[in-house]
Structure 1
Amino acid sequence: MNKKVTILLSRTGENHKKRILFGLKRIRQTLVQNGYELYQETLPENFAEYRNIEGEKIYVGIAEQDSFIAWLEENELLIYHSTKPGYEGMYLETIPARLTLVVGGDETGALYGLLELIDRIDEEGEIPREIAYSDAPVMKL
């Protein structure tokens, strides 16, 4: 079985932040260890064309800062099944065309989301087919 996955990067560098790049490096290693053929592409100028990229896809972005995430929300492709991620929070969701989204409330939340996805890939041996999961730190004094 030949498993293929494409890591999508923003055209404008919105997801090229230090913690996100670290998380992407880790998830690439995990995907290869789990038998995936790995590709990387820049998002198409017309966001709707992400659907034309074959196979499974992963995109990571920050809520309120990322134009692709905003487009997905506006077009009701990304529908939060809980609250939108806030400070250090994250949300994982599978949307149409086999795209797994990692949405952070900030850069740290995006990294936490990638680490959660890595754990799930390691447990299942593949990218989860359907996921809608959120988490955020609970601050207690």
Structure 2
Amino acid sequence: MSSYRHPGIVFTDRYFTVPLDHGDPGGEQIEIFGREAVASGGTGEELPWLVYLEGGPGFGARRFIGAEAWLGRAVREFRVLLLDQRGTGLSTPANRQTLPLRGGPREQADYLAHFRSDAIVRDCELIRPQLTGGEPWTVLGQSFGGF
């Protein structure tokens, strides 16, 4: 984990390992990237978590440069996790460079079947206990992230 400060906010980069196929938890693993944001001046450890899911599909979470837009308001009440959903941003990529490594069109389609919204929800449920100790968190989704 690496942390850095911007005006009004401290960001910490986090990586989480999850199964590519949640039906085969011992199989191939991928990484999910999340950027934690808390108000500067405190660690925010006493605050509840809010996970933000970006729209798209196919876009990583926004990269804020400080207390911009809604994030500045949210960090007053929450520790915020800006999650790059599987295949996007700094998470294990699924793109035109990586898909041909999977084989032909059929193999690529089979691989991409693991990047649906139900897999993203299961990723979140594997990540949540690592951050909250099993406590609930608040979810904020924009567009596709709202599904």
Q: TM-score normalized by structure 2? A: 0.26
* Structure of greater Rg: 2
Higher helix share: 1
